[in-house]
Structure 1
């Protein structure tokens, strides 16, 4: 690759080269530590004498912008002068919008590796050791080979037919969903699936009903689409359907494993929700994010299967069952929305990476996914039982878990008048990552509690971690 330098005329060549390289370094286009071409190579590239380039390099050295290392080459200096101040945000025509996005909170964000604590109870994360490295590596190589046939061309926005067929079989087998490959749109995670549904349905001011408490990233995404999000309370049977307001256009719910409290929506409440949606002409977004991991009770029919009127958009993800890093999910669209979702996906990012789609299709076809889920189920079940035993034992004076029949997180309420945020902050000082439920509530008035994930913590680490939490609670109530 040639270094981008433009020569004009035949005069002041060394000054031209010096000036362009100086500006490139100061602007950051040439980064600190980046190697520059040898003077002979750059001279040949520009059609000038080597002496001319050497003079330019000499001036840059005097400016302390480059350094030469004997036997290694010439490099941009690691310590550079301060760059000029860019245009201030208030000078931008879109400053109000930029300020809005700058102020958007990002709850449930996972910490970078260097910021992770010794004991992590963060929701949505899984132990690295559980990932099936060998099987996935084989399937990834298959994906690379199959992608070679499409190289140079874009793929279909709705996703590869091989993956859509595999997902439709999996969803029918493990989740009881009634769908065909043609109903599916492969997305970059469940978050994009929800974003696509919102894009094709929501206009500014549209009323969206959402569980309270609920998944904060869903609420914030819908609000970013300028929806009027109305919090609807949940009880032991799930979403309180009779409180969904008139004029609602979209209803977001997690009926299989309510996020974050954990209860499943009852059969009667499911029928009532579908009836209310039909009355309103509203689309129901059924976010089924982790139903493969169920520990108690019998499975209930998904809303999508019960739906007789084409009102349910079903969203699934492989972030919980395989890995969040893959960013693979899907939407099962009702007939009235499928073409709109495909077009929106096309405009959003054209399609999800085909290599990953081929790899996942092979991974599922070879039976690796079901085997992986069974293995993880046993691991998560053991962790859940250990966690519940401690919460019912020596931690019971302070903490009360809500029933967690599925997934790998649970809500834990505070029995005593404690500040959940303070509990989390003090626990972090003890190298234990706990997280408050506060972000899941739209309204400020709620019972304080914790969102406790057990996907990323090893079973042998649960007791040492909870011993530290107990010390924190004893100090706060002493």
Structure 2
């Protein structure tokens, strides 16, 4: 391995080439700044600047006195979804119940679709009106509306629009694995905020803000994986804390809005300069109808539009037409209400069955999942349940900074009576 160069750019480029060629691998240490400066005959500040560029590019990580080492490349990590090829009862997938999703074979016949051309408005007028009515009352004054390809797409675009690589983003801990992965792949760092039954703890959020987080991403209700939701008191506490940090980007991911039981409470203060409220239709209409409404301030909307401009990457008008048809269909609205009712019944049935056996569980009030803390190793419990025919998700998939010794159980497709059978097997597996 030979690092060469006389300027910071030349030195950083040399290291990058050594990484790309495989001569430097994750975990390998770079020479100390003083040592490399002497080898190359340059000022120590030049080498320090080169290492800083490499750190910003996520190629190396500085470990203080332990030196600078080549970083592991970013990976998407675990993903939500079906476990294909398994004969187990899948309570790990995080999916809505397909029985309540619209039949895609009928949608095109019912939707008002036509061919769209370059230069047309990026949002269909009727869908724009629907979105403004749906989000307007829950946003600060002056809301602008944009569409993205789902909630995760919105989160990634918002982070890229306002943050730079290395910036810290506060998220719930435990948190949704897709969100955590998206933020990391965008080059930002996640800072875990402790949560309880009512969402982010105010003191934990305050501590993160004091440490310099540049954005806060919060799930106001039906948090995945725990199912916690903000109440009015907690939302007001968080809003009061954020009011003193007007330059921090505040993102609310209200992903479950179409089928939510709990009321929505905003944490966005009027003093906040950059903010966004995201509402996806995926949980109610299905993951493939990948559209999210984004209500945000004007400056944020302008940045999003630069990336969603005509001829570049707008959300398909055909997809918009299908979503609009669903959101205005009496039949589908009735199905959404039925789904909401079923999810509530399934969730309560499982929680009551657990508590009747003396198994403590978080007070989940919304969402598709129940979070069950365990005293034994979560992977062992998941394995034992799998041997009895149940597939659950280990809590470690949702960890940000703190260990999450728990399992997450998806309740959307539970049949009557299954909750009791699951709890008996869970109790046996849990010892």
The normalised TM-score by structure 1 is 0.68
Conserved? CA contact 2:108–2:322, under 8 Å: yes
Count of equivalent residues: 367
Name the structure 1 match of 2:378: 420
Superposed displacement of residue 449, structure 1: 0.9
| Residues 261 and 155 of structure 1: CA distance in aligned 2, closer, same or farther (over 3 Å) | same
Superposed displacement of residue 454, structure 1: 0.6
SS of 1:401 mapped into structure 2 = coil
| Residues 379 and 326 of structure 1: CA distance in aligned 2, closer, same or farther (over 3 Å) | same
Residues 36-83 of structure 1, C-alpha deviations (whole Å, 9 max, x = no match): xxxxxxxxxxxxxxxxxxxxxxxxxxxxxxxxxxxxxxxxxxxxxxxx
Name the structure 1 match of 2:419: 462
Superposed displacement of residue 294, structure 1: 4.5
Superposed displacement of residue 264, structure 1: 2.4
Superposed displacement of residue 363, structure 1: 1.9
| Distance in 1, Cα, partners of 2:256 & 2:429 | 31
Q: 1:7-26, aligned counterparts within 5 Å?
A: none
| Distance in 1, Cα, partners of 2:167 & 2:132 | 31
Name the structure 2 match of 1:146: 113
| Residues 250 and 434 of structure 1: CA distance in aligned 2, closer, same or farther (over 3 Å) | same
Conserved? CA contact 1:155–1:351, under 8 Å: no
| Distance in 1, Cα, partners of 2:167 & 2:73 | 24
Name the structure 1 match of 2:350: 387
Taking only aligned residues, the RMSD between alpha carbons, in angstroms, comes to 3.3
| Residues 385 and 230 of structure 1: CA distance in aligned 2, closer, same or farther (over 3 Å) | closer
Name the structure 2 match of 1:405: 365
Q: 1:134-173, aligned counterparts within 5 Å?
A: 137-143=105-111, 146-148=113-115, 150=116, 153=118, 156-157=121-122, 159-171=123-135
| Distance in 1, Cα, partners of 2:143 & 2:331 | 24
Conserved? CA contact 1:252–1:287, under 8 Å: yes
| Residues 129 and 94 of structure 1: CA distance in aligned 2, closer, same or farther (over 3 Å) | farther
2:154 matches 1:198:
no
Residues 321-342 of structure 1, C-alpha deviations (whole Å, 9 max, x = no match): 2211222212111222111011
Superposed displacement of residue 270, structure 1: 2.5
| Residues 217 and 100 of structure 1: CA distance in aligned 2, closer, same or farther (over 3 Å) | farther
Conserved? CA contact 1:412–1:451, under 8 Å: yes
Residues 396-450 of structure 1, C-alpha deviations (whole Å, 9 max, x = no match): 3xx3221111112121112xx311111112222332111122122222544x111
SS of 1:115 mapped into structure 2 = coil
SS of 1:452 mapped into structure 2 = strand
Larger radius of gyration between Structure 1 and Structure 2? 1
Unaligned runs of 5+ residues in structure 1 are 1-88
Residues 77-131 of structure 1, C-alpha deviations (whole Å, 9 max, x = no match): xxxxxxxxxxxx965899988998976143243135x424431212531222222
Moved more, 102-111 or 124-133: 102-111
| Residues 181 and 120 of structure 1: CA distance in aligned 2, closer, same or farther (over 3 Å) | farther
| Distance in 2, Cα, partners of 1:433 & 1:234 | 26
Name the structure 2 match of 1:434: 392
| Residues 349 and 222 of structure 1: CA distance in aligned 2, closer, same or farther (over 3 Å) | farther
| Residues 203 and 256 of structure 1: CA distance in aligned 2, closer, same or farther (over 3 Å) | same
Superposed displacement of residue 142, structure 1: 4.4
| Residues 432 and 349 of structure 1: CA distance in aligned 2, closer, same or farther (over 3 Å) | farther
| Distance in 1, Cα, partners of 2:396 & 2:94 | 17
Q: 1:219-258, aligned counterparts within 5 Å?
A: 219-239=180-200, 240=202, 241-246=205-210, 247-258=212-223
| Distance in 1, Cα, partners of 2:343 & 2:395 | 21
SS of 2:127 mapped into structure 1 = helix
| Residues 270 and 117 of structure 1: CA distance in aligned 2, closer, same or farther (over 3 Å) | same
Residues 162-192 of structure 1, C-alpha deviations (whole Å, 9 max, x = no match): 22222333446xxx52489972211111000
Superposed displacement of residue 309, structure 1: 4.4
| Residues 465 and 362 of structure 1: CA distance in aligned 2, closer, same or farther (over 3 Å) | same
SS of 2:80 mapped into structure 1 = coil
